[in-house]
Amino acid sequence: MSETMPQSTSEPLLRIRGLSKHYGAVQALRGVDLDIMPGETVALVGDNGAGKSTLVKLISGAIQPSGGEMAFAGRPVRFASTDAARALGIETVYQDLGLCNNLSVAENIFLGREQTVGGGPFRFLAKRRMHRRAKEALHGLTINVPSTKAKVLGLSGGQRQAVSLARTKLWSSSLVLLDEPTAALGVQETERAMEAVRSLQAAGVAIVLITHQMPMALAMSDRAIVLRRGEKVGDLSTRTATGDDLVSLITGARERHIEAA
């Protein structure tokens, strides 16, 4: 390649180098390198305990790495908390969807970002505005949530999903991390949740999607990353990869397959 060839103009949204995490003697993640481009959807697959949730928690600031570096939008970052990551537009939908059962739909959507009116001792929660904005965010997701005032406790899995996704939509996240978002959902709800994910994709949001379902990984993503025992052993374009490719890397039948970007 010639020296004068123009460099690729698109910077990775997230650049991860040598990321590691150990819990005492357990090495949950070892030396992971990963670039995620703006608007790209990356499926994260691997067996139970492979390190998928650990990687997502490190990106979201929920836990801190034992080693390695991350850069977001070209700047080195070190998130002390999920709030710090969220402030940059990194939002997480956890395995359990991370909702507070005893709070309402609107309160969950605004959790940690409560809107107030007035100042000093006269600050009030702008409840009406919160409900209106929550309703707008839910609108357009194909799942019906009865009321923004309903307690989350009484919602179905699919409705909880919609609340989580509305939260990511409203805060115009540039990267959304989904840790097995459909694990607890029925067939129809799963399909609706995937529609919601597609609407995030259409809005140009980059997504990391953890799933144990290979057809979903292949159908929903541009690229699949395979973790085995904390190590990245696969990085494949889903245009050409098959379910068997992924499974053989997950189990170790195939040692390693890293495609160049």
Ligand X SMILES: Nc1ncnc2c1ncn2[C@@H]1O[C@H](COP(=O)(O)OP(=O)(O)OP(=O)(O)O)[C@@H](O)[C@H]1O
For 82, the token pair is 């999920």
Nearer to ligand X, 50 or 209 (CB): 50
If contact means CB under 5 to 8 A according to the sort of partner, which of Mg ion, ligand X, none does residue 61 touch?
A: none
Kindly state the smallest distance separating residue 149's Cβ from Mg ion, in Å: 32
Q: Are 179 and 94 in contact (CB under 8 A)?
A: yes
Amino acid at 15: R
By CB under 6 A, tell whether 87 contacts ligand X: no
Kindly state the smallest distance separating residue 95's Cβ from Mg ion, in Å: 6
How many chain residues touch Mg ion (CB under 5 A)? 1
If contact means CB under 5 to 8 A according to the sort of partner, which of ligand X, Mg ion, none does residue 50 touch?
A: ligand X
Q: Taking the alpha carbons of 142, 145, 149, 153 in that order, is the dihedral positive or negative?
A: negative
By CB under 5 A, tell whether 53 contacts Mg ion: yes
Kindly state the smallest distance separating residue 91's Cβ from Mg ion, in Å: 18
By CB under 6 A, tell whether 98 contacts ligand X: no
The whole-angstrom separation of Cα 238 and Cα 223 is 5
Nearer to ligand X, 23 or 67 (CB): 23
Q: Are 35 and 15 in contact (CB under 8 A)?
A: yes
Spatial neighbors of 207 by CB under 8 A, at least 6 apart, are: 40, 41, 42, 175, 176, 177, 178, 197, 200, 201, 221
Q: Are 128 and 149 in contact (CB under 8 A)?
A: no
| Among candidate residues 205, 252, 207, 206, the one with its CA nearest the CA of residue 226 | 252
Q: Which of residues 4-63 bind ligand X (CB under 6 A)?
A: 23, 26, 28, 46, 48-54
Amino acid at 16: I
Kindly state the smallest distance separating residue 127's Cβ from Mg ion, in Å: 35
Q: Where does this chain bind ligand X (CB under 6 A)?
A: 23, 26, 28, 46, 48-54
Q: Where does this chain bind Mg ion (CB under 5 A)?
A: 53
